[in-house]
Amino acid sequence: MTNDNLQEHLNNGLYGTPQLHPDEQHKYLGTFRERVSLAITFKEFSNNQNACLTAIKQEISSNTEEKLSIKINGQLSSDIIDKIIQISKENNTKFEYLADTSFSHDDDANAIVICSSKSALHIENIDVESKYHELFERKAEKNNDPKEDKKGFLSKLFDL
């Protein structure tokens, strides 16, 4: 072994094998950005869980040429994880549960990443709210529907 190879071997033993774009891989739950088809943050799940689950179903079923897998941040609530696992089983899709505590849990961190494990997809828009805006607009419309004027107890009781 030459001195360069020996030093490289020692460094790998001390510090581990160097990774390509470790920050990017950490953000996208262990994969590269160009392999991601859809990313959902904790904040998006907390704002509209049903729309996010519907978007996951649509993303998996719409992509037939590339076999996708689901990466689940282990810090997501267990009831949501159960629903995602059920969706993956229904669609015969692989899922990976990542219980590593180094993945962050803040609002902007990714809770779910749908990606290709073998090849780059190069999809420009991977944000769930902009990619499936119609699902999120429906919720906003439901919240903005003019409801009956709130009546007081006596008004309801005496039908005033």
pTM of the model: 0.76
Tell me the residue ranges of DSSP E strands in 32-145. 36-41, 68-73, 94-98, 110-116
Which CATH architecture best describes the domain 20-136? Answer: 2-Layer Sandwich (3.30)
**Residue indicated by tokens 């392999």:** 35
- What span, in angstroms and rounded, lies between the C-alpha atoms of 75 and 3? 44
Extents of the domains making up the chain: 20-136
**Torsion angles phi and psi, residue 120, rounded to 5:** -80, 140
Q: Which amino acid is at 157?
A: L
Q: What is the pLDDT along the chain (160 residues), one digit of tens a residue?
A: 677 788 888 888 888 777 778 888 889 998 999 999 999 999 999 999 999 999 999 999 988 777 899 999 999 999 999 999 999 999 999 999 998 877 778 889 999 999 998 889 999 999 999 999 998 886 555 555 555 556 666 666 666 5
